[in-house]
Amino acid sequence: MRVLWLFLLSLPALLLGAPGATAYMEKGDDLMNEKPEGYPVATLGGGCFWCLESEYRALDGVLFTRVGYMGGEAEGPSYKDVTTGTTGHAEVIEVTFDPKKISYRDLLEFFLTKAHDPTTLNAQGVDTGTQYRSAIFYHNEKQKRDAEKMIKRVNMNKVYPNPIVTEVVPAETFWEGEDYHQQYYEKYEKQNGQPHIRMYLKQQRKR
């Protein structure tokens, strides 16, 4: 099993021809190193927060992202706590954005049609459990209305064969994830000279 896992991790480099031959992490033009003040945020849960964060960091108008946990009962949960599926938290991303460049509705449409599959209950791909549920945590009534309208629109347009199961719930305390989870795929690529296997396969599916 260990040999198979090591092979899978090395697969991107083998297919690209050499380590670091291609950078797979796409980044938007407006990303900042620190969270700016005075801008709105969107908080979304859609499976593994590594994957979801990488999707949003590629969008122009997104200023800052961070991953963490929301929607549970325990105070100050750790990643280890959340992975048990017993704390009630979801893995989420917090997206700080410039509404003059990208609207909240744009972020929602991307979330529901491209960033993840909103029709699978408590699961995304191989990741299963309530911590991987699809959720929109709204910060005000307008965000709530926009989320409900966007879900209705995507359902009406029959984007998926099955109905959307994304929950729309009030934002609660955002518990920031551990540092090594922040921008995980970017750190992995920088450290290893090749994209993470999940990122590589995702990009291949888009081509």
Sign of CA dihedral 50, 54, 55, 57: positive
DSSP 45-87: EES-HHHHHHHHTTSTTEEEEEEEEES-SSSS--HHHHHTT-S
Q: Examine the residue annotation and report whether 51 is marked as an active-site residue of this protein.
A: no
29 touches 88 (CB < 8 A) = no
Q: Which residues contact 50 (CB under 8 A, 6 or more apart)?
A: 67, 181, 184, 185, 198
Choice among 48, 70, 102, 199 that is catalytic: 48
User: How far apart, in whole angstroms, are the C-alpha atoms of residue 85 and residue 107?
Assistant: 27
Q: Contact 56/62 with Cβ under 8 angstroms?
A: yes
Eight-state DSSP code of residue 179: G
Catalytic residues: 48
